[in-house]
Amino acid sequence: MTAILTDLQEGAMMPNRRFTVLDHMYPEAWASLSHSTDDEWFDNCFGTSNYWDLALAPHGHKSTTVIANRHSERLVDWLRTVSHDVIVSREAGRWNGTALRQAFPRAKLVAFASHWVEDENLKGFDVVFSSFPLMPERCRKLGVRCEYLPLAFGRKVLDLVSPPSERDIPVAFFGGLGNRIWKRGTDTMVDIACGVKEFRWWGYKSGPLPQILETTYQGECWGRRYFELLMRTKICLNRHGEVADGFGNNMRQYEATGCGCCLVTDDPGELNGLCKPYRDAWDAIAIVRDLLGRGRYAESFGAFAQGHILANHCYENRVPRFLEVVENL
């Protein structure tokens, strides 16, 4: 009887909550993918899609992801018409916490900061979650609560994208390249492209590119098309921007391993042991050549990593820690 009362008391302390998740999509992706309805957009599996909504539902919470691209400058006005207990900003740098606090004084305000954000944009939130291990200390100095929470893979992808009969792309990179934003990473891919004749890449360009990258470029790919290509890829190369500050922290790592690729990356972060880390371009070339020369080893390693991702690094794995913090705000 005591145990039952304790359970009821704990349940009373943690009522079901209504979450509104604010997200914003790359304009290029929004323009390229179908989005006549929210469900149609979410089935593109771009970015974080509605993965948080799906992961929160089994815990009894109602979560609705709102795509800001659909509402433009009228977003705040539209939000006033919706009931919510918690507003979650997927990008702390896009929605200023102080401004949101003024507009919604009674809601709990939560933000994610998985890239560098101006100090002023972090203020006003009840808590900030970040996949940067150094962010909590920085936020503490600003008087802002911050909790470390790694990135994750959206399991929904595997329900919507059918795997191919074989992995017919030996080595690939997916993402943005160009010295305008990613000089160090672009220089690394140039060297790898010169040293690995099988190298191909899909993504978008930021400024002029060296000839080898123009020659190996296969075009843009967004949403499910991107995941279809990942599932055809044996070895997926990864590079981090300078903002990562030496820690493995991008979505591509989780997306590649979640789709069963053998990931070759500069900084493994949380995925240490589930990928093949390289020190520099020449080390990456040696690793890729070795993997290509070992029969189906790369595919076997990719399957091994995928198993661990699905067991430990999906959104449902992040929700318990997320709720532990949010439910006590």
What are the structural domain ranges in the chain? 2-152+315-326, 156-312
* pLDDT single digits (tens) 249-299: 899 999 999 999 999 999 898 999 999 999 999 999 999 999 999 999 999
pLDDT for res 244:
47
Answer positive or negative: Cα dihedral of 95, 97, 99, 105.
Answer: positive
Other beta carbons within 10 angstroms of residue 197's beta carbon come to 10
Provide the pLDDT confidence category of residue 2 given band limits of 50, 70 and 90: very low
In 3D space, the residue among 327, 323, 325 whose CA is nearest the CA of residue 12 turns out to be: 327
Tally helices (H) and strands (E) across the chain.
Answer: 16, 11
Indicate the residue type of 317: N
Tell me the CATH number of domain 2-152+315-326, given options 1.10.10, 1.10.150, 3.40.50, 2.60.40: 3.40.50
Alpha-carbon span 38 to 54, nearest angstrom: 14
pLDDT for res 74:
84
**Residue range 77-102: average pLDDT?**
90
Q: Answer whether 2-152+315-326 and 156-312 agree in fold.
A: yes
Helix (H/G/I), strand (E/B), else coil: 241: coil
- Are 236 and 261 spatial neighbours (Cβ–Cβ below 8 Å)? yes
Check pLDDT > 70 for residue 243: no
* pLDDT single digits (tens) 35-44: 999 999 999 9
* pLDDT single digits (tens) 215-225: 999 999 999 99
Residue 299 C-alpha from the chain's centroid: 23
Q: pLDDT higher for 247 or 77?
A: 77
Q: What percent of the chain has pLDDT over 70?
A: 93
Q: Which two tokens stand for residue 282?
A: 């020449």
Query: What residues have CB less than 8 Å from 37, skipping those under 6 apart?
Result: none
Alpha-carbon span 149 to 320, nearest angstrom: 11
- Are 299 and 256 spatial neighbours (Cβ–Cβ below 8 Å)? no
In 3D space, the residue among 294, 309, 220 whose CA is nearest the CA of residue 259 turns out to be: 309
Provide the pLDDT confidence category of residue 161 given band limits of 50, 70 and 90: very high
In 3D space, the residue among 129, 132, 131 whose CA is nearest the CA of residue 108 turns out to be: 129
Q: pLDDT higher for 114 or 58?
A: 58
Element (H, E) at 205: strand 199-205
Beta bridge partners of 217: 201
Provide the pLDDT confidence category of residue 241 given band limits of 50, 70 and 90: low
pLDDT for res 202:
98
For 247, phi then psi, to 5°, come to -125, 135
pLDDT for res 119:
86
pTM assigned to the model: 0.91
**Residue range 132-149: average pLDDT?**
92
Check pLDDT > 90 for residue 62: yes
pLDDT for res 11:
40
How far CA 319 is from CA of 61, 111, 256, 312, 327, in Å, comes to 11, 14, 21, 12, 11
**Residue range 123-128: average pLDDT?**
94
pLDDT for res 93:
83
CATH of domain 156-312: 3.40.50.2000
- Are 275 and 264 spatial neighbours (Cβ–Cβ below 8 Å)? yes
Provide the pLDDT confidence category of residue 246 given band limits of 50, 70 and 90: low
For 214, phi then psi, to 5°, come to -65, -40
pLDDT for res 41:
97
Check pLDDT > 70 for residue 181: no
Provide the pLDDT confidence category of residue 229 given band limits of 50, 70 and 90: very high
**Residue range 293-319: average pLDDT?**
98
The least confident of 197-211, 222-236, 309-323 is 197-211
Side-chain half-sphere CA neighbours of 95 within 13 A: 26
pLDDT for res 94:
87
User: Residue written as tokens 């909504």?
Assistant: 53
Helix (H/G/I), strand (E/B), else coil: 172: strand
Q: What is the DSSP string of 6-22?
A: HHHHHHHHS---EEEEE
Average model confidence (pLDDT) for the chain? 90
